[in-house]
Amino acid sequence: MINKKIIREDISILKEALKNRNSKFDLDKIINLDSKTKQLTAEIDKLNEKRNILSKEITIHLKNNNLQEVDKIKNEVTQIKTSISKLENESIKYNSELELLLLSIPNIPDKSVPIGIDENDNVEIKKYLTPTNFKFEPLPHWDLAIKNDFVDFERAAKISGSRFCIYKNDGSRLIRALQSFTLDYHANNGYTEFSMPVIVKEESLYGTGNLPKFKEDLFKLENLNAYLAPTGEIQMTNYFRDEILKEENLPYKFTTTTINFRSEAGSAGRDTRGVIRQHQFYKTEMVNIAHPETSFDLLEKMTENAEGILEALKLPYRRILLCTGDMGFSSCKTYDIEVWLPSYNNYKEISSCSNCWDFQARRSMIRFKNSKTNKNELVHTLNGSGLAIDRLWAAVVENYQNEDGTITVPDVLVKYLGKNILKK
């Protein structure tokens, strides 16, 4: 959430940020609401001060047995209490409206982020490996999966509906191997592994910025104030919600593989074949809870950590620095990692690594005791896919396919699968 100080002290910063993000917002309404809440607070404080003075006067008059004056002052105190109650109700109303508007404002981009309108203005940072030049016509992962009996799309649709997949046989073993490999890789790089619940409370989603902005993309549980988690970032970021951490313990580095759920609102007609865009999917996630002074260094390290998995699997990829118009809601700087998929003859996103600065921490009240200032200050939160497992599955199947339709197992996965070839 945006710091109110920006609104009160230099609104131009926010105006410029929203302009660069191509985000229209009624800032005048926010300024007016903030002004009203400050005015009401001042009036309430003034009345409380007057009430305290009158209460002291009552004590003096009681000592002097001046009961007539006591009754008069008591009536005045009663009127003041009524006025305070009315003003407090007004203040609650305006504050609620203000908070809701503030929760809907995206994060301010870092100065290092290129200004742009959409994905066409993103900047390519690096490429790794040249895509394989197959000596045969490569098949897309959905055809290879059916040919090898790796998946069952039809029965998944019968059981659950469209955009669901049942992995089976070597296809299921591969998805499990990729989860184990990615978790082991991150654990070896200093991440603490978690096994997290997939049901999250509403306040957890507000904490990370998924609510109220992305409500349509969530699966809400009927009769409960809870949802199916769209990413493991929710659970790990909220692990320290409403806590004050010890500075010497920062950073915390967490990883988990979860089943995630998204309605994919607004994605009709996109990636309808295969396992690229589903309602239910696996993802290994990384979260860093960091000291403000080190968060941008950690963003680079976290991104390199995600890339390391693709390099270990010898899969071609590229790193993209997102422009202001293509960034996620909670991020102040994001790198996308895109893996090469022959079926698209292009790169496809497999990870987003973001520094959210203190945006999520302010919403979730995650703080640390700063030894220099001796004050409680907000941490910085970072998150990154490490990696999107179903997309990684598709990348392995497509890039390691053989002319006969079998799949060669990448060297680093042989110990997880116990074989060198995946086939029917």
pLDDT tens-digit readout, 105-152: 999 999 999 999 999 999 999 999 999 999 999 999 999 999 999 999
| Among candidate residues 103, 138, 168, the one where a domain is terminated | 103
When divided into structural domains, the chain yields a total of 2
Domain end, chosen from 74, 103, 132, is at 103
pLDDT of 243 above 60? yes
pLDDT band at 161 (very low <50, low <70, confident <90, very high): very high
pLDDT above 90 coverage of the chain, percent: 86
pLDDT at 270: 65
DSSP-based three-state secondary structure for 261? strand
Domain match, 75 and 146 both: no
The pLDDT of residue 64 is above 80: no
Q: Are residues 98 and 125 in the same domain?
A: no
Q: Given a cut of 90, is residue 59 above it in pLDDT?
A: no
Residue 7 pLDDT grade (very low, low, confident, very high; cuts 50, 70, 90): confident
Torsion from C-alpha of 193, 331, 323, 399, nearest 10 degrees: 20
CB 313 within 8 A of CB 337: no
**Residue 320 domain flag:** yes
Strand 192-194 and strand 367-370: pairing? unpaired
Predicted TM-score of the model (pTM)? 0.91
Which pLDDT does position 265 carry in this prediction?
Answer: 63
**Residue 67: what pLDDT?**
74
Q: Assess whether pLDDT exceeds 70 at residue 267.
A: no
Kindly state whether residues 77 and 196 are assigned to the same domain: no
* pLDDT of 24: 87
**108 inside domain:** no
- Inter-residue contact 416 to 183 (CB < 8 Å): no
Decide which of 54, 71, 103 is a domain's last residue. 103
Both 233 and 272 in one domain: the answer is yes
User: Is residue 54 domain-resident?
Assistant: yes
What's the CATH number where 74 sits?
1.10.287.40
pLDDT of residue 70: 77
pLDDT of residue 268: 56
Residues 150 and 180 reside in one and the same domain: yes
What is the predicted pLDDT for the residue at 71?
81
**Among 316, 334, 310, CA closest to 185:** 310
Burial annotation 130-161 (CB, 10 A radius, 16+ → b, else e) = ebbeeeeebbbbbbbbbebebbbbeebeeeee
Please check whether residue 203 lies inside any domain of the structure: yes
Q: Same domain, yes or no, for 228 and 194?
A: yes
pLDDT, the chain, mean: 94
| 91, pLDDT greater than 90 | yes
What is the CATH classification number for the domain harbouring 170? 3.30.930.10
pLDDT tens digits, residue range 284-306?
999 999 999 999 999 999 999 99
Does residue 141 sit in the same domain as residue 189? yes
pLDDT at 346: 97
Mean pLDDT of the region 54-83: 84
pLDDT tops 90 at residue 234: yes
114, part of any domain: no
Same domain? For 245 and 273 the reply is yes
Q: Nearest Cα to 257, choosing from 234, 228, 286, 278? A: 286
Q: Is the domain of 158 the same as that of 84? A: no
**Mean pLDDT, residues 71-75:** 85
Q: Are residue 53 and residue 163 in the same domain, yes or no?
A: no
184 and 301 inside one domain: yes
Residue 72 lies in a domain: yes
Rounded CA-CA distance 75/69 in Å is 10
- 35-64: average pLDDT: 88
Mean pLDDT over 376-381 rounds to 98
Instruction: Count, in order, helices (H) and strands (E) of the chain.
Output: 13, 18
Looking at residue 266, what is its pLDDT? 58
Q: How large is the average pLDDT for residues 395-411?
A: 98
Q: Which domain holds residue 365?
A: 119-422
pLDDT at site 26: 87
- Per-residue buried b or exposed e for 175-195, using 16+ beta carbons within 10 Å of the residue's own CB: bbbbbebbbebbeebebeebe
DSSP summary character for residue 161: -
Mean pLDDT of 160-176: 97
Domain check: are 269 and 348 in the same one?
A: yes
Of 12-21, 95-104, 260-269, 299-308, least confident by mean pLDDT is 260-269
111 domain residue, yes or no: no
What pLDDT is recorded for position 269? 59
Query: What is the structure's pLDDT at 262?
Result: 96
In a domain, 280, yes or no: yes
